Amino acid sequence: MDGAGRLTRSLRSLGPQADLRAAAIGAAVLLREYVGAHLARCRRRPASRPQMIDRAPPNRYILLVERYLPRRIGLVATLAILFGSLGFGIVRGGHLEEFTTALSDTRNALANSAGFRITTVGINGRKQLSQDEVLAIGGVNGRSSLLFLDADTVRAKLKANPWIADATILKLYPGRLQIDIVERTAFALWQQNGRLSVIASDGAVLEPYVSRRFLNLPLVVGKGADTRAQDFLALLDRYPQVRSVTKAAIFVGERRWNLRLKDGLDVRLPENDVGNALAALSKLDKDEKLFSRDIVAVDMRLPDRLIVQLSEEAGKARDELFKDKKSKKKAGDSA
């Protein structure tokens, strides 16, 4: 009984496995028949031949173009149109400078990676300008490479600055840049139309007057005074007694000079023979204490006379003195 029961359980457990095996065998037989039939049809199918398509003969103008124009001319023309459109867009959009800068930076980056980075900078001759200012004026920055640095361009940029009279640029490979500059010297302060500027001896405007370190420079005023100041101040230096009390030299009508002294006295110099007028003025002050008198103006424009204008108070006192003298004289006559 137990044996019969065990046998029955074993047959029941083998049933699904037998069904799976039978299904697999059936599927394999069907697949083999399908593949065999497909191969047989392929062997019986005749080989296909290429079909000819009738085309109209090309136009003779097209034949001439294809014959005489270089090959790939269409590709070249397309690329030209694309690059032309790109360039036009860059220029029209105002991006040319940015594009040029990007190309320059890329080129310099490649040169720097190859060992031509500027590692040392020497600058000689600077007094008013700092090293950073000189490099900024010359257009040299941390992205610049010595290989692609244009020495002539850097020199031109430096000389365009009013403080720099001349410059020399040396490229010492692989990474040293030497800059030698000749600076202009601040010579005077020049005032025109209410603006005050620092000028060099040749009249070049160096910068607006904003720093008190130029406070002790001589002051010249008027149109044309910038270019004529050097000669006149050199002449004025011969008469230190006059120069020491001069506050400003005023160029009048681009023809002659006036002096404004520190106490407010105006001296009107002649157009010609200025040296003799200054010598006479210095002698008058030495002998007659002219600059200490109560006067507001001295007119030396006429060669044969000196005209002195009294202050308002001095004029009133002089008038009172004349009145007293006149009244006393009348009283004496009547007696």
Q: In what order do the strands lie in the sheet with 164-172?
A: 120-124, 176-183, 164-172
Measured in degrees and rounded to the nearest 5, phi and psi for residue 317 equal -65, -40
Give residue 178's identity as a one-letter amino acid code: Q
> Looking at 35-39, 45-49, 75-79, 262-266, which range is the least confident one?
45-49
Predicted confidence at residue 112, as pLDDT, reads: 87
Separation CA 117–CA 174 (nearest Å): 7
pLDDT in tens, 154-171: 999 999 999 999 999 999
Predicted confidence at residue 212, as pLDDT, reads: 86
Burial class (CB in 10 A: 0-12, 13-18, 19+), 126: middle
pLDDT averaged over every residue in the chain? 79
Predicted confidence at residue 199, as pLDDT, reads: 97
Q: In the numeric block, which tokens belong to residue 22?
A: 């039978």
* Residue 120 CB partners (closer than 8 Å, separation 6+): 175, 176, 177
Separation CA 313–CA 93 (nearest Å): 71
Separation CA 136–CA 148 (nearest Å): 17
In terms of pLDDT, which residue wins out, 103 or 332?
Answer: 103
pLDDT in tens, 168-203: 999 999 999 999 999 999 999 999 999 999 999 999
Judged against a pLDDT cut of 60, whether residue 251 lies above it is answered with yes
